[in-house]
Amino acid sequence: MKTELALVSTQAPAAVTDDQRPDYFTERNGVLCAGIHLLLELWQAHRLDDVDHVASALRRAAEACNATLLHVHTHHFTQGGGVSGVAVLAESHISIHTWPERGYAALDIFMCGDCDPYRAVPMLKRAFSPGSIQISENKRGVVP
């Protein structure tokens, strides 16, 4: 995902052609792709109704992956109820939806470039102490 920042400078910027701009595609295990998309399912997890804890976990997960955090947004449905949240990253996103009454959380981690979404997993385990975790991986934007 491309992010353009406006910089203030007294010098004229150098011309950059489209073929010089990075596209953040990366090679993973010999496959050129846009990035890795992990789906995590946490069961028997804890603190799933704590909106502040969920937001903090999203921030720490982004940091663990060396991702560029742009914004975190969370929504608490009811007191003691579920939380939905997203960490918007320059490299894509981390999202979570929780069902505290079932001890279940669904997470979606998609990252392009050099960020490694697997680095978020140990941090998320510490944050939510799940009894079990299921992970599935998809490579997105696989170049034929």
CA-CA-CA-CA torsion for 75, 48, 123, 55, nearest 10 degrees?
Answer: 20
Give dist(CA 129, CA 45) in Å, integer. Answer: 6
| Residues assigned a catalytic role | 92, 97, 112
Phi-psi group of 74: left, alpha or beta (phi > 0 → left; psi -120 to 50 → alpha; rest → beta): beta
Q: Are 107 and 124 in contact (CB under 8 A)?
A: yes
Cα–Cα distance measured from residue 1 to residue 43, given in angstroms and rounded to the nearest whole number: 31
> Which CA distances in Å does 96 have to 8, 20, 134?
36, 35, 14
